[in-house]
Amino acid sequence: MANSLRGEVIKLYKNLLYLGREYPKGADYFRSRLKAAFLKNKDETDPEKIKQLIARGEFVIKELEALYFLRKYRAMKQRYYNDDKP
């Protein structure tokens, strides 16, 4: 069971690292915060606690994706729609 959770944690880390490339405060800022968060919980051995942490990480992924989609939507709206109201 520990091996399957280890694989999930590594996959989560890679996904977050990939998403962090476009973070508004910069990739280096995101990478350092991500590494600190994972190192803080590196000694966790309880499978239930690890699953909770993985679920929290997946929630963060969804929030980042929403942030990026919103930023892209605003850019497209600004590009194609004129906000000047007479």
pLDDT over 90, % of the chain: 51
Encode pLDDT of 26-64 as tens digits: 889 999 999 999 999 988 888 999 999 999 999 999 999
Q: Residue 68: which residues within 8 A CB-CB, separation 6 or more?
A: 19, 22
Residue 83: pLDDT above 70?
Answer: no
Q: Per-residue confidence at 84, pLDDT binned at 50, 70, 90?
A: low
Q: Quote the pLDDT of residue 85.
A: 57
Contact criterion met (CB below 8 Å) for 20 and 31: yes
